[in-house]
Amino acid sequence: MRWLRYFLLAPPIAVLALAAYSYFTGSLKFHGGPLPWTISYDLSPTEQRRLLPKTALAKQFTAAHGYNTRIAFLLDMSLASGKNRFFVADLEKDSILLAGLVAHGSGNKSFSVNPVFSNTHGSSCSALGKYKIGNFYTGQFGAAYKLHGLDPTNDQAFHRNIVLHAYDCVPEGETYPYPICNSRGCAMVSPAFLKRLQSLIDHSQQPILLWIFD
C-alpha cells in the first residue's frame, strides 16, 4: 500500500513547502498574524526607563500615520556603541523582541567614539528623528533599505543617502567598553542582524518606523 502512504503524506508536505516558500518570499504577511519569529530581550532597569516611554509614543505615532502598529525599531544613541542600542519593539506587548549593535556616523573624523548629530549634506553624521523604512535595494554594502526622514532634524536623509545597511565591521555581540566602527551617517548593523530585520521588514504590509534618539 505504498501509494496510500504517499497519498497521506502529500498534504503535510505541501503545507510545509508552502510555509517555507511564503517565509522566504514574504508572501505571507504578519499584519494581524504571528510574527515571522519571536525572541524576548530582557531589558536592564535603565533600558526600561528609556525605552518603554518611547515604545508608547511609537505606538501612538504608528496608529496615527498608517505605519505598522506591531513593530518599531528604536535606536538609543545615548548608549555606547559597544552596547546593544538597536531595539526591535513589540508595540502590542510593550516589550523588546531583539537588540543589536548599530554604528553612528564618524562626523568626517577618522574615528568618533561619541556620535555628533547633523542633518547637513556631507557631514557623515547620524541624524536624530523618526524615519520611514523605504524600498529595498542592493548597494555598495549589499542589502540595504532607503530611509525617509520625517522630522526637521532628519528630513535630508534620503538625499544624503542615509540608509539601513549591514557591514562586517559591526560585531554580532556587545564589545563594551570597546567601541565599534563608525558609519558615514547610516544606521549600520551586522550582517546577521540585518537578516533578522529583513524578515520583519519584508513581511510587513505597512511601513515600519525607525526612530533614532539620544
Is 70 exceeded by the pLDDT of residue 193?
A: yes
Dist. CA 102–CA 25, nearest whole Å: 26
pLDDT in the model for residue 87: 96
Give pLDDT tens digits for 102-147: 999 999 999 999 999 999 999 999 999 999 999 999 999 999 999 9
Do 76 and 139 lie in a common domain?
yes
Q: How confident is the model at residue 42 (pLDDT cuts 50, 70, 90)?
A: confident
Do 11 and 113 lie in a common domain?
no
Dist. CA 63–CA 56, nearest whole Å: 11
CA dist list (Å): 15 to 18, 26, 29, 41, 81: 5, 16, 16, 31, 43
Give pLDDT tens digits for 143-182: 999 999 999 999 999 999 999 999 999 999 999 999 999 9
Do 81 and 2 lie in a common domain?
no
pLDDT in the model for residue 50: 84
Among the listed residues 30, 214, 5, 198, the one whose alpha carbon sits nearest the alpha carbon of residue 104: 214
Do 86 and 3 lie in a common domain?
no
CATH at residue 73: 2.40.440.10
Task: Return the DSSP state at 106.
Answer: -
Q: Which domain holds residue 15?
A: 1-29
Q: How confident is the model at residue 44 (pLDDT cuts 50, 70, 90)?
A: confident
Dist. CA 214–CA 79, nearest whole Å: 8
Among the listed residues 208, 169, 174, the one whose alpha carbon sits nearest the alpha carbon of residue 189: 169
Position with higher pLDDT, 132 vs 11: 132
Do 209 and 159 lie in a common domain?
yes
Do 48 and 20 lie in a common domain?
no
Report residue 129 as a C-alpha cell: 528623528
Give pLDDT tens digits for 55-114: 999 999 999 999 999 999 999 999 999 999 999 999 999 889 999 999 999 999 999 999
pLDDT in the model for residue 84: 96
Do 21 and 42 lie in a common domain?
no
pLDDT in the model for residue 184: 97
pLDDT in the model for residue 61: 98
Q: What are the DSSP E strand ranges found in 31-157?
A: 71-76, 86-90, 95-100, 129-139, 142-149
Do 76 and 55 lie in a common domain?
yes
pTM for the model: 0.82
pLDDT in the model for residue 45: 78
Is 50 exceeded by the pLDDT of residue 22?
A: no
Among the listed residues 197, 94, 213, the one whose alpha carbon sits nearest the alpha carbon of residue 154: 213
pLDDT in the model for residue 47: 79
